[in-house]
């Protein structure tokens, strides 16, 4: 049986490091955080979170900082590498070894895929991966699961589509790893140039029931969850390829007429044009509510790795 | 009669939204904040302020953050848009809808005139306007009034001059709206190119007793309050026009010989050359003391809109 | 006898302003901070630190912010000048006079040598110098002394070498001033282009027992403390001069074979190549542990100047 104490001091680097029992435990603890997210608490009073963002972020950084404040703790850090000693030529490892002297837990976002692993290796305090290049974003996957569970009451038995850029999108990689622990049918919907990374699929081979397709329209009526991601123009050498793809996966109210009434549309945000704003006011729209679940999940993670639960 | 509870959940977007009774009430509450500004309090413990600055600021951002800390609350946010998801193409509305999941109140500065209105429209939590392009800066107007009341014991019956850039200066727009609630004589002193915006005057037509002039020297002896603003070089296509204006409205000790002994000189800051440093040590100089009143007023506003008073 | 109350309201601008008794007192108080650095405290609850960094920094800024949080206080400030009103042409003095209205203590880093002195002159609240151009960095010197005392049990009687850029390195200037209060033998080891600044030596003439040399290898066996600093490429007009120097003062495990077994290697960090990473795991390496002492020393200084001890 999983116990809170088993998370104390632990790193949160990859969704692959957590089994189903542990994931469910984290999600349960996240639900318990809801009242504390409303009124605050002293659970982590006197403790310090360091947020080291080597890439810009609104959502993830503010979410972790809010989580720490709601638990009564303090926050230090930087929002971009220009204000850090990296600019003076310091190695990433040296920065981590320095900062761990000031904080009790480190949250790091970095453009390199192995950054979180490297940080966890040198740091004696817990490290939480807030985005390791195009590779993983495990806390996003946990908040995605928490949102699905809230909306649907369960994760098992659902038909879930991940749509958009499955090659470079770190959130869908972590989500695929997480969903491999559940009994779901997963549709991987993307243009051929942006199909799900092969090494992601290899790591969950035999554990994940998935179908790859480029045709969203034909599977839409079967879906319980439609998880949309941003397709970036820069991924396409030829502008016309981008234009074609952009339209093929753009979700609007018209298109959702073919969907189940209780389909939920999710998005890790920021969105640009891939979900029309006319969807925002429909009951399908869960992408803003989803943000709130990030707060719960991150509060739970901080409290767990700091041994406060 | 105005009650504290009527401010709970309210947005602070424009000075036009507040009547005299409400303004006086806020100023009274600001005065009550003085002891808390010295020693701190737990009034907003567990609550979170999000400061979203899409334009740089020292004074206003730090003032709000200090106000929140003095009340025992936490702060998240960004000091410039480069570190936010705006850089990834996210709409302003989406950013607001995201951040409101993490915070209890949002303070926003943005270069567009309708930004604060738009933020208040989408956010369910209170939004405080910390500068909406060249249009308004209501919390500055409130701190200006609080300073005047402290220095003069009253606002009614005073002769007040607003000097400098009345076209693009957001602080003087909000101050004109606020002063329309009081029995003052207002001199609007500017070069012809930077006269008070017509739509500002239209909104207070018949309620504000004002005179427009380009001649500061002739009215100076009558003034109780001289409110100076910065004239920016960029506003003038021809450099010689700027040089002429710059000198015409530059306040120094020599010039103040013609002023009343109890004239107070105010400035929203930052100042560049429009007030000579030889004025700093005279009893006329109120522009640094004025800063402190920003703390009181913002503490009062945060406590009011969060329903803590 | 030194008493805590004598530090209340005091500025920390230069190591030259503190005598041995005062330095020892600060170091004692820093040691007392260790348990509070683990579990936090309410010693500075309700108080606010403003960190004004006109030059980027990871270590010093985060260290002060962590120190303030561990003592229960709040932090406001900026990490780079671009987000402040300096960009609008505000004078440094005006920025200080503004910020002192929001905070109880100011920590300032600025590229100009007289910045901290100027800030302390205009501010009525205490100012702590976190690096004044290439001139001084007194809190670094204090943490260096605290580290030496922890490692060696004393400062008197030690053989200490300062190695690298002694001309532009502010940390070695403050450290030389501090060590002039103790009975040490100081080796000043540098290439001829980067010898210790003459005005630093003049200020401690007759009080400091020192030898200037360019030859690290010959004195290495005698050393108790080897304090290494970064030599920046930009200091050398001719690239080949830099390359020669870089190698001459590069510390690695091989070179340390000639050192005493209990030699400690220190560095203000960030390091680039001047200490090889193969030294990190030896018992000589104290440069990461040294970071932790910055937290203790800054906690003590904040508590002392705010009169909380």
Q: Which residue of B has its CA nearest to C123?
A: B288
Q: What is the pLDDT of residues A36-62, one digit of tens each?
A: 999 999 999 999 999 999 998 889 999
Look at the domain B4-136+294-305 and name its fold: Rossmann fold (3.40.50)
Which chain C positions have a beta carbon within 8 Å of A74's beta carbon? Answer: 66, 69-70
Encode chain B in three state secondary structure: CCCHHHHCCCCECCHHHCCHHHHHHHHHHHHHCHHHHHHCCCCCCCCEEEEEECCCCCHHHHHHHHHHHHCCCEEEEECCHHHCHHHHCCCHHHHHHHHCCCCCEEEEEECCCCHHHHHHHHCCCCEEEEEECCCECHHHHHHHHHHHHHHHCCCCCCEEEEECCCCCCHHHHHHHHHHCCCCCEEEEECCHHHCCCHHHHHHCCCCCEEEEECCHHHHHHHCCEEEECCCCHHHCCCHHHHHHHHHHCCECCCHHHHCCCCCEEECCCCCCCCECHHHCCCCCECHHHHHHHHHHHHHHHHHHHCCCC
Nearest to C46 among B41, B53, B272 (CB): B41
Query: DSSP letters along A239-272, please?
Result: HHHHHHHHHHT-B-TTGGGGS-TT-EEE--S--S
Distance CA B65, CA C75 (A): 8
Q: What is the pLDDT of residue B238?
A: 86
CB C145 within 8 A of CB C23: yes
Nearest to A56 among B82, B97, B102 (CB): B82
C53 and A95 within 8 Å at the Cβ level: the answer is: no
C288 and A101 within 8 Å at the Cβ level: the answer is: yes
Residues of chain A with pLDDT under 50: none
A271 and B95 within 8 Å at the Cβ level: the answer is: no
Rounded to 10 degrees, the C-alpha dihedral B143/B146/B150/B151 comes to 60
Which chain B positions have a beta carbon within 8 Å of C71's beta carbon? Answer: none
CA distances from A306 to A6, A61, B76 (A): 11, 18, 21
Does A80 lie at the interface with B, CB-CB under 8 angstroms?
yes
Question: A107 burial class (0-12, 13-18, 19+ CB within 10 angstroms)?
Answer: buried
Does B235 lie at the interface with C, CB-CB under 8 angstroms?
no
Helix axes A138-152, A287-305, angle to 10 degrees: 120
Q: Which residue of B has its CA nearest to A79?
A: B83
Q: Buried b vs exposed e over C147-162: b needs ≥16 C-beta within 10 Å?
A: bbbbbbeebeebbbbb
Distance CA A120, CA A12 (A): 9
Q: Which residue of C has its CA nearest to B77?
A: C76
Q: What is the pLDDT of residue C83?
A: 57
Nearest to A101 among C40, C69, C292 (CB): C292
Structure tokens at B237: 């296509």
Helix axes A287-305, A20-32, angle to 10 degrees: 100
Q: What is the pLDDT of residue B61?
A: 97
Q: What is the pLDDT of residue A57?
A: 87
CA distances from B96 to A38, A43, C70, C305 (A): 18, 28, 31, 40
CB C25 within 8 A of CB C145: no
Does C286 lie at the interface with A, CB-CB under 8 angstroms?
no
Q: What is the pLDDT of residue C238?
A: 86
Nearest to A99 among C62, C79, C80 (CB): C62
**Which residue do the tokens 């994940």 mark?**
A208
CATH code, C138-291: 3.40.50.1370
CA distances from A11 to A17, A106, A141 (A): 9, 9, 16
Distance CA A108, CA A121 (A): 13
Which chain C positions have a beta carbon within 8 Å of B276's beta carbon? Answer: none
CA C163 from centre of chain: 15
A102 and C295 within 8 Å at the Cβ level: the answer is: yes
Which chain A positions have a beta carbon within 8 Å of B74's beta carbon? Answer: 66, 69-70
CB A36 within 8 A of CB A70: yes
Q: What is the pLDDT of residue A263?
A: 98
CB C105 within 8 A of CB C84: no
Q: What is the pLDDT of residue A87?
A: 66
Structure tokens at C167: 């001309």
Span C4-136+293-305 CATH architecture: 3-Layer(aba) Sandwich (3.40)
Does A117 lie at the interface with B, CB-CB under 8 angstroms?
no
Residues 39-78 of A with CB under 8 A from B: 39-41, 53, 56-59, 62-63, 65-66, 69-70, 72, 75
Which chain A positions have a beta carbon within 8 Å of B101's beta carbon? Answer: 288, 291-292, 294-295
A88 and C272 within 8 Å at the Cβ level: the answer is: yes
Q: What is the pLDDT of residue B85?
A: 63
Q: What is the pLDDT of residue A186?
A: 98
Q: What is the pLDDT of residue C293?
A: 98
Complex confidence, ipTM: 0.95
| Bridge partners (DSSP) listed for residue A266 | A227
Closest CA of chain C from B285, distance in Å: 13
C48 and B56 within 8 Å at the Cβ level: the answer is: no
A62 and B47 within 8 Å at the Cβ level: the answer is: no
Nearest to A98 among C40, C58, C72 (CB): C58
- Of C98, C105, C122, C306, which to mutate for an interface test with B (greatest number of B Cβ within 10 Å)? C98
Q: Which residue of C has its CA nearest to A104?
A: C38
CB C106 within 8 A of CB C119: yes
Distance CA C164, CA C161 (A): 10
Q: What is the pLDDT of residue A220?
A: 97
Closest CA of chain B from A114, distance in Å: 23
Q: What are the pLDDT tens digits along chain C (309 aa)?
A: 899 999 999 999 999 999 999 999 999 999 999 999 999 999 999 999 999 999 988 899 999 999 999 999 999 999 987 656 666 789 999 999 999 999 999 999 999 999 999 999 999 999 999 999 999 999 999 999 999 999 999 999 999 999 999 999 999 999 999 999 999 999 999 999 999 999 999 999 999 999 999 999 999 999 999 999 998 887 788 888 888 777 778 999 999 999 999 999 999 999 998 999 999 999 999 999 999 999 999 999 999 999 999
Q: Is A280 helix (H, G, I), strand (E, B) or coil?
A: coil
CATH fold match for the domains A4-136+294-305 and A138-291:
yes
Distance CA B275, CA B229 (A): 9
Does A253 lie at the interface with B, CB-CB under 8 angstroms?
no
CA distances from B244 to B231, B239, B248, B256 (A): 11, 9, 6, 20
Distance CA C93, CA C127 (A): 13
Does A108 lie at the interface with C, CB-CB under 8 angstroms?
no
Q: What is the pLDDT of residue A112?
A: 95
CA A52 from centre of chain: 17
B66 and C74 within 8 Å at the Cβ level: the answer is: yes
B77 and A62 within 8 Å at the Cβ level: the answer is: yes
Q: What is the pLDDT of residue A244?
A: 78
Nearest to C69 among A74, A85, A98 (CB): A74
C101 and B40 within 8 Å at the Cβ level: the answer is: no
Q: How far apart are the first and last CA of chain C?
A: 16
Residues of chain B with pLDDT under 50: none
Contacts of A283 (CB under 8 A, 6+ apart): A261, A262
Residue spans of the domains in chain B: they are 4-136+294-305, 138-291
**Which residue do the tokens 């990461």 mark?**
C288
**Phi and psi at residue C213, in whole multiples of 5°?**
-155, 160
Distance CA C10, CA C4 (A): 11
Distance CA B164, CA A157 (A): 68
Which chain C positions have a beta carbon within 8 Å of B286's beta carbon? Answer: none
Distance CA A54, CA A86 (A): 9
Nearest to C270 among A46, A76, A88 (CB): A88
Q: How many CB atoms within 10 Å of residue A283?
A: 10
Which chain A positions have a beta carbon within 8 Å of C40's beta carbon? Answer: 45-47
């Amino acid at each position: 049986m999983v116990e809170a104490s088993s998370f104390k001091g632990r790193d949160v680097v990859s969704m692959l490091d957590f089994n189903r029992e542990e994931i469910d435990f984290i999600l349960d603890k996240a639900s318990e955080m809801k009242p504390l997210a409303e009124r605050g608490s002293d659970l982590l009073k006197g403790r310090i979170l360091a947020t080291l963002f080597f890439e810009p972020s609104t959502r993830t950084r503010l979410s972790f900082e809010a989580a720490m404040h709601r638990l009564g703790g303090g926050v230090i850090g930087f929002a971009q590498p220009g204000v850090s000693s990296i600019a003076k030529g310091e190695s990433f490892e040296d920065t981590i070894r320095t900062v761990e002297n000031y904080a009790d837990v480190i949250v790091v976002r970095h453009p390199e895929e192995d950054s979180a692993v490297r940080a966890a290796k040198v740091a004696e305090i817990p490290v939480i991966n807030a985005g390791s290049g195009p590779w993983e974003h495990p806390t996003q996957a946990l908040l995605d699961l928490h949102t699905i569970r809230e909306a649907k009451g369960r994760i098992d038995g659902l038909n879930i589509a991940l749509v958009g850029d499955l090659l470079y999108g770190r959130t869908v990689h972590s989500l695929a790893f997480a969903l491999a622990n559940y009994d779901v049918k997963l549709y991987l919907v993307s243009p051929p140039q942006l199909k799900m990374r092969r090494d992601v699929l290899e790591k969950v081979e035999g554990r994940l029931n998935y179908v790859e397709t480029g045709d969203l329209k034909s599977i839409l009526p079967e879906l319980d969850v439609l998880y949309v991601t941003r397709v970036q123009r820069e991924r396409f050498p030829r502008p016309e390829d981008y234009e074609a793809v952009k339209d093929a996966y753009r979700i609007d109210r018209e298109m959702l007429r073919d969907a189940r009434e209780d389909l939920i549309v999710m998005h890790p945000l920021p969105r640009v044009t891939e979900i029309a704003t006319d969807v925002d006011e429909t009951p399908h729209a869960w992408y803003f509510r989803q943000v709130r679940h990030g707060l719960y999940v991150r509060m739970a993670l901080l409290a767990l790795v700091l041994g406060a639960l």
